[in-house]
Amino acid sequence: MRILVTGAAGFLGSHLCDRLLQEGHEVVGMDNFITGNPANLAHLASNERFSFIRHDVSNYIFVPGKLDAVMHLASPASPNPLSPYGYTNLPIQTMKVGSIGTHNALGVAKANNARFFMASTSEIYGKPMVHPQPEDYNGNVNPVGIRSVYDEAKRFSEALTMAYHRYHGLDTRIVRIFNTYGTRMRLDDGRVVPNFIQQALRREPLTVYGDGLQTRSFCFVSDTVEGFIRLLMSEEHEPVNVGNPVENTMIELAEVINELTGNPAGIVMKPDLRVSGDPQSRRPDITRAREILGWEPKVALREGLLRTIPYFEAAMRSQSGWE
């Protein structure tokens, strides 16, 4: 297959490109580098089955030659308000890539009679009142909160994808991605795994906000990408959750990372500094992924962290001369 991947230079997009190439496909990567990192694709420069187009998908998309699939991953995804790459600091771009960008990507798929794959998010469930979250849960959302630019862009993109499927008969897929971690995450990503690893490597106490009992599920990037591939090759048009159904509290995660890095500094609690709107629990119900795709995560948290920590150590040294 010849496959267009938007957001190809991002964390997930670059790993997806690698996997598609390993499977023997031809990949056309597309990214405008607003949040994507060219270094994530540098190793593919000599690969004859990989080509790259620098382009903002919020503008009309043209790709010469026939495409068999379009996998739309382009979007800012970092919640970090202190990072220039965080979606709260790129609010209009985030809304445009989820709306106009999705429309343009769907248009390319329609013009090529190609399969369309939409990368959505667990954020569409908002601050859930149902645990774990099945795909038929409509969510508990704040459409005007500061994080809504990302959540609502993804909700719109799902609606538009289903509209193209129902009205135009386009062959579509929607994946709802839960918390994923691994190599190639930005140092200033802002999510808890990068934050904790960097604090631990600097031998600082790990900062836990609130009471530390809030939970998340953590899926290693190779497992998430495996879910993408299986969904793309399936015949399923309705949304499918891809994530790890095993929950960990923030305190548990902090303790594991301190152990694996040999960090003696421990944990510092910040009970009054938890971000407003931060869900207490988010965990996928992956019944449909198991039944339809035969998919479930294979990489345990400790194993995934052991694969991830050396990447952050090298990235920190490279960025700042840290020792």
Provide CB contacts within 8 A for 147, sequence distance 6+: 79, 87, 88, 123, 277
* b/e burial code for range 143-176 (CB count within 10 A of at least 16 → b): eeeebbbbbbbbbbbbebbbebbeeeebbbbbbb
Question: What is the residue whose two structure tokens read 């190609």?
Answer: 114
Q: Is 149 within 8 Å of 94 (Cβ atoms)?
A: yes
265: Cα within 13 Å, side-chain hemisphere: 18
Please indicate whether residue 167 is annotated as part of the active site: no
Which residue of the set 85, 87, 150, 164 is catalytic?
A: 150
Q: H or E element: which one contains 301? A: helix 301-320
Sign of CA dihedral 179, 182, 187, 193: positive
Q: Which residues pair with 3 in a beta bridge?
A: 27, 69
The label of the residue with tokens 């990567």 reads 29
Structure tokens at 156: 């719109």
Instruction: Give every CB contact of residue 229 below 8 A, 6+ residues apart in sequence.
Output: 19, 20, 23
C-alpha separations of 24 from 1, 39, 171, 208 in Å: 8, 22, 22, 43
CA–CA dist 243, 226 (Å, integer): 11
CA distance 76 to 54: 16
Q: Which residues are catalytic?
A: 150
